[in-house]
């Protein structure tokens, strides 16, 4: 087997991390709010992928640090890619975000300084 084919091969951990990464954007959309700043939403995405990737590695039987980090990185990259390519254009993730964000009271005026 040459070096290129070794690089192109995906392990079971990589494949499971891709599957988990595909499922992460709806979960992130459920947790985050439309009104949060972008840095807070990004922090939630990183935290959810950190937990999801770590759990994927642990359930798959990979307990060493390199495998955990690899699973987290693949999960995060897959979640970001699937969000941009599938979940956001389909309107599913934005719909989840809108439906799970609490509504502001009728008396709230966002232009009034607090």
pLDDT digits (tens, 9 = 90+) for 11-37: 889 999 999 999 999 999 999 888 888
Task: State the pLDDT at residue 112.
Answer: 55
SS3 helix, strand, coil % of the chain, rounded to 5? 75, 0, 25
Task: State the pLDDT at residue 33.
Answer: 84
Report how far apart, in Å, the C-alpha atoms of 4 and of each of 1, 7, 10, 12, 71 are: 8, 5, 12, 18, 21
Task: State the pLDDT at residue 3.
Answer: 62
- Counting as low any pLDDT under 50, the low residues of the chain are none
User: In a 10 Å sphere around its CB, with 0-12 CB exposed, 13-18 middle and 19+ buried, how is residue 16 labelled?
Assistant: buried
d(CA 12, CA 72): 14
Q: Which residue has the tokens 């990464």?
A: 21
CA dihedral sign, ordered 94, 96, 97, 98 = positive
Whole-prediction pTM:
0.79
Task: State the pLDDT at residue 5.
Answer: 63
């Amino acid at each position: 087997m040459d070096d290129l084919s070794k690089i192109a091969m995906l392990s079971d951990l990589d494949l499971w991390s891709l599957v988990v990464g595909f499922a992460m954007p709806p979960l992130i959309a459920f947790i985050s709010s439309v009104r949060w700043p972008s840095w807070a939403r990004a922090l939630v995405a990183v935290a959810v992928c950190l937990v999801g990737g770590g759990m994927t590695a642990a359930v798959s039987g990979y307990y060493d640090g390199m495998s955990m980090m690899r699973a987290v990185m693949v999960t995060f990259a897959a979640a970001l890619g699937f969000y941009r390519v599938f979940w956001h254009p389909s309107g599913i993730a934005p719909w989840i975000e809108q439906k799970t964000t609490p509504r502001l009271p009728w008396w709230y005026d966002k232009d009034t300084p607090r």
